Chains A and B, each alone.
Chain A
Amino acid sequence: MPDLSINIAGLNFKNPVTTASGTFGYGDEFLDFMDLGRLGGIFVKAVTGKNRDGNAYPRMAETASGMLNSVGLQNKGVDHFCREIYPRIKNFNTHIIVNVSGSTVEEYIEVAERINELDKIPAIELNISCPNVKLGGMAFGTVPAMATEVTAEVRKVYKKVLMVKLSPNVTSITDLAKAVVDGGADVITLINTLLGMAIDVERRRPVLSTITGGLSGPAIKPVALRMVWQVHKAVHVPIVGLGGIMNATDAIEFMLAGASAVQVGTANFIDPTISVKIVDGIAAYMDRHNIKKTTDLVGALKTE
């Protein structure tokens, strides 16, 4: 058996397969389908300072090889998370990482401070890339100076592993990657969804209530891979790669491009057991290629 474990910013993951925020609930929705202990980690649904109802219906449009969503960070706020959700998920036998979102720097700080107090949460993923909220969200992820500032402010209050999730809706992803590393990010997660839209021609109206939304699924995989590759060459922090991963081959592509770990997102909707199948698929690939440890895969792309 190859060694699937991987160390990311001092945190040891049993394997490089995790699940993406917003596609895996709080993990317990999947208990009927799989042993969560088989995963490297779970990135739980975004947590904001206060309760958010999210956007109006319709929030979803199926597209070619993907889907658009405009959920808008619906969640019951950090108090509710700490009080109601954390106790029921804290003993899962995998890393539980909280996606921290907000509209203002103060809100990001407030949430990060609260999550910092939770013993069983070893890391947060700062979400500066949500395309579906009017204020904040993606704005922090598209202007390098703002990305540095929000990362640095959270860094002051958050003592554990700080991951920052980048938006692909920028001209230069490496500028943003450097900006968050300057702010003190330990790990970069990329990519969040690509801004897109869909139109109902019969009604001559947008399909989504918000007109635009975030595109995910295999349609965005080539873009995501390219960005992981560029960021891997530009900065020296570990990368968690995601964007359209549907199977083990896709996951291995991300690792070869430079990701130390991957997140499985939209694929969870179609096959709720896919993440463990990807763990098995990576192990089989490593066996077949006589690769002893996952670290040997990371950034192993040959370009000469």
Chain B
Amino acid sequence: MDIKKFVQDLLVVETTRLNKRHFILELLAPEKFPLILPGQFAQALVENSPTTFLRRPFSIHSVDYQKNTLRLLIQIKGDGTRHLAGLKAGDHLNLIYPLGNSFSLPFTKDVLLVGGGCGVAPLLFLAQFLNQSQIYPTILLGFRTKEEVSEIEEYSKYGKVLITTDDGTEGEKGLVVDHSIFQRERIPFKKIFCCGPDAMMKAVAKIARMHRTDCEVSLENTMACGFGVCLCCITPTDKGNERVCVEGPVFNINRLKW
């Protein structure tokens, strides 16, 4: 589906610090949003940072069509994201959006969302979207530690939330794939949507294959343009090298060389 893309200055409504490494930017668009689908992302321009030359891609965390706002969940990794963390209400942020494909609408109600670290970002939007089709997913979220566990009340509005922390300070101890729901002979899900670090997604994909469960993952990749012209962010698929920014970021694991 072709969704019109915009280059736009959005107004920063609020910057909310979730913990040491993560924050949420709430942004108001100057005109009515186009249709934005879960899994799509935005390319943010970092101004006045001498070390940040290219835009930075972020999954869209949620969209409020009434207020015409969207939210980005961002992990502070370097100068660019540190600069974005300093944006205040009233500042502007230039975005190219909405970019990429989206998670598909599943033909089942037995849906599991799995997110790790910053990879939880698109899953809130996805859960909201699934609710509109009367699908109430199980949402498994992995964090490093209790201090980073955030927005659980928000996720809980849209599905049943399960938590793991690496150090066991909240939820079950370990990685998401160590969670007890995966330790059963048969898992009660017919579709898994997953976003997080590559190693985590590969581990989830392995479980999905073992249980013959359909699984889509949202890939992270170093991007220059984000809209399909630089051919930098490729991933090998059954159709050769495909662009994560256009043919992705969401891929069914059957199409990847994993």
Interface residues of A (CB under 8 A from B): 22-25, 29-30, 32-33, 45, 53-54, 57-67, 69, 71, 74, 217, 266, 268-273
Contacts and interface: CB of A to CB of B under 8 A. Distances in A.
A63 B54 CA distance: 9
A219 to B, nearest CB: 9
A74 B96 CA distance: 24
Given A57-B233, A270-B55, 9 more contacts: A32-B5, A65-B50, A69-B224, A69-B230, A69-B232, A74-B231, A271-B45, A272-B225, A273-B7
Interface stretch (B107-115, B153-161, B164-172, B234-242): B234-242
B4 A65 contact: no
Among A74, A268, A270, A271, residue most surrounded by chain B Cβ atoms (within 10 Å): A270
Given A32-B6, A59-B234, A74-B234, A269 B54 contact: yes
Nearest to B45: A270
Interface of B: 4-7, 45, 50-55, 96, 221-236, 240-241
A269 B225 CA distance: 4
16 contacts: A22-B229, A22-B231, A23-B225, A30-B229, A57-B233, A57-B236, A59-B232, A60-B230, A62-B52, A63-B53, A64-B51, A65-B53, A67-B53, A74-B234, A272-B225, A273-B7
A163 B240 CA distance: 31
A267 to B, nearest CB: 10
Contacts of B221: 57
Contacts of B7: 33, 271-273
Contacts of A60: 222-224, 230, 232-233
A294 B235 CA distance: 44
B27 to A, nearest CB: 18
A53 B237 CA distance: 11
A62 B231 contact: no
B96 A272 contact: yes
A255 B7 CA distance: 29
Given A29-B227, A270-B53, A57 B5 contact: no
B241 A74 contact: yes
B228 A217 contact: no
B229 A54 contact: no
Contact of A66 (B4, B53, B230, B231): B53
A29 B53 contact: no
A175 B68 CA distance: 58
B240 A270 contact: no
Given A32-B5, A270-B45, A271-B7, A25 B224 contact: no
B225 A268 contact: yes
Among B7, B226, B241, residue most surrounded by chain A Cβ atoms (within 10 Å): B241
Contact of B230 (A22, A32, A33, A271): A22
Contacts of B236: 57
A29 B228 contact: yes
A303 to B, nearest CB: 31
Given A32-B5, A74-B241, A54 B234 contact: yes
B224 A67 contact: yes
Among all A-B residue pairs, the 5 with the closest Cβ atoms: A60-B232, A25-B229, A269-B225, A32-B5, A269-B224
A24 B231 CA distance: 10
A53 B241 CA distance: 6
A25 B225 CA distance: 11
Nearest to B6: A32
A29 B241 contact: no
A59 B229 CA distance: 13
A60 B229 CA distance: 13
Contacts of A45: 229, 231
Nearest to B246: A29
Contacts of A58: 222
A74 B5 CA distance: 24
A39 to B, nearest CB: 14
Contact of A54 (B6, B228, B231): B231
Given A33-B5, A60-B224, A270 B54 contact: yes
B227 A272 contact: yes
B9 to A, nearest CB: 12
Contact of B232 (A32, A71, A271): A71
Nearest to B222: A60
Given A24-B229, A269-B230, A53 B53 contact: no
Contacts of A32: 4-6
A284 B203 CA distance: 57
A59 B227 CA distance: 16
B10 to A, nearest CB: 15
Among B229, B236, B241, residue most surrounded by chain A Cβ atoms (within 10 Å): B229
A288 to B, nearest CB: 26
A163 to B, nearest CB: 21
Contact of A217 (B53, B223, B225, B234): B53
Given A32-B5, A60-B224, A67 B234 contact: no
Contacts of A273: 7
Contacts of A57: 221, 233-236
